[in-house]
Structure 1
């Protein structure tokens, strides 16, 4: 009976940790999604200085949030996001509307894919 109780506690802890990680990833991704939307709006208004400032703020947010993510995420995926963010920052800096918007769109998809990929659900378990 003790063994069963111990196993139930371990399973509950693993599921709870998974749900917490998913919630944390989802809230961080939504925050960064809002930043990307603001950058896109500033670019569409041709307000390049503010768009660049927002891009720097997005990069700072990413650097704060990604510190613990290597524990639960693939390093390759995180590297791809860093590379995409660097490209977007330079495109905004050079005031290239088409490349900036394209790179921001790609960045948004990569960031929003993270919580979906790491969600605790039957699809990801099997």
Structure 2
């Protein structure tokens, strides 16, 4: 009887922690998407200095949260995001609009994929 109670407690504790971890990942992705949208607006409006500064803000947010996120998700997803954010900062510095826009779209797509992986659905459970 003790084993069954202990197992149930561990199971519910794990579900509780995974629920909050999922919410943390979604909130972090939302924060990254907000900054990415601001960068995209600045690139479209040719506001290169602001987009360059925001790319570093995006990098700081990313680096601040990536250690916690890789505990729950595949690190290769985050490595791809990191490399695109680095490229984006250099494209903004060089004022290369085509490459900067394509890079920011890749960043947003990768972040949305991570967010979709964390949504609770039948496909993600099985």
Confirm or deny a common fold (TM above 0.5). yes
Residue in structure 2 matched with residue 11 of structure 1 by the alignment: 11
Counterpart check, 1:125 vs 2:121: no
Q: CA RMSD in A?
A: 1.4
Counterpart check, 1:45 vs 2:45: yes
Instruction: Give, in angstroms, the shift of residue 119 of structure 1.
Output: 4.0
List gaps (5 residues or longer) in structure 1: none
| Matched residue count | 126
Supply the distance in 2 between the matched residues of 1:12 and 1:116 (Cα, whole angstroms).
24
Flag as ranges the 4+ runs of structure 1 deviating above 3 A: 118-122
Supply the distance in 2 between the matched residues of 1:78 and 1:33 (Cα, whole angstroms).
14
Instruction: Give, in angstroms, the shift of residue 76 of structure 1.
Output: 1.4
With the length of structure 1 as denominator, give the TM-score of the two structures: 0.91
List gaps (5 residues or longer) in structure 2: none
Aligned residues of 2:81 and 2:107 also touching (Cα < 8 A)? yes
Residue in structure 2 matched with residue 30 of structure 1 by the alignment: 30
